């Protein structure tokens, strides 16, 4: 038994093989049999019907997530600019120097 086998059921191995094929990889730890195709179809149908995978807002909002994250990063960078860190460092150094005297 290798580390790849730990925790994978037969359904998990079928789904892992499907994902690996989708990424252009050779499936690992997978033995094809006549039950694999219907089993994979049942797994994909269950995923499609699971309400936990339904987005909580419109798909356009979800698709624009990278743009929203970029706006958030810019706002964070503006709020915590390097200048404030330099001023804070100088103030800490001055306070330390004053306390050491």
Tell whether 39 and 69 lie within a shared domain: no
Tens digits of per-residue pLDDT, 4-62?
556 678 888 888 888 888 999 888 767 777 778 898 999 999 999 999 888 776 777 66
pLDDT at residue 63, as a whole number: 65
pLDDT at residue 14, as a whole number: 87
Tell whether 23 and 44 lie within a shared domain: yes
pLDDT at residue 3, as a whole number: 57
**Number of domains composing the chain:** 2
pTM greater than 0.85 (yes/no): no
Cβ proximity of 17 and 27 under 8 Å: yes
Cβ proximity of 6 and 29 under 8 Å: no
Tell whether 26 and 49 lie within a shared domain: yes
- Please report, for residues 34, 46, 59, 62, the alpha-carbon distance to residue 54 in angstroms, rounded to integers and kept in the order given: 31, 13, 10, 11
Instruction: Confirm whether 2 is domain-assigned.
Output: no
CA-based nearest residue to 30, from 15, 44, 17, 12: 17
Domain boundary among 37, 53, 69: 53
Instruction: Confirm whether 73 is domain-assigned.
Output: yes
What CA–CA distance (Å, rounded) separates 90 from 97?
Answer: 10
What CA–CA distance (Å, rounded) separates 24 from 17?
Answer: 10
Rounded to the nearest angstrom, the gap between the alpha carbon of residue 23 and the centroid of all alpha carbons in its chain is 16
Mean pLDDT to the nearest integer, 69-80: 63
Within 10 angstroms of residue 15's Cβ, the number of other Cβ atoms is 18
79: containing domain? 59-100
């Amino acid at each position: 038994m290798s580390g790849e086998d730990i925790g994978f059921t037969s359904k998990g191995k079928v789904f892992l093989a499907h994902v690996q094929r989708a990424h252009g990889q050779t499936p690992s730890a997978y033995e094809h049999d006549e039950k694999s195709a219907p089993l994979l179809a049942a797994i994909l149908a269950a995923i499609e019907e699971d309400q936990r995978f339904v987005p909580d807002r419109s798909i356009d909002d979800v698709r624009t997530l990278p743009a929203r994250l970029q706006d958030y990063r810019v706002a964070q960078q503006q709020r915590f600019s390097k200048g404030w860190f330099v001023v804070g460092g100088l103030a800490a150094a001055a306070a330390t120097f004053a306390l050491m005297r």
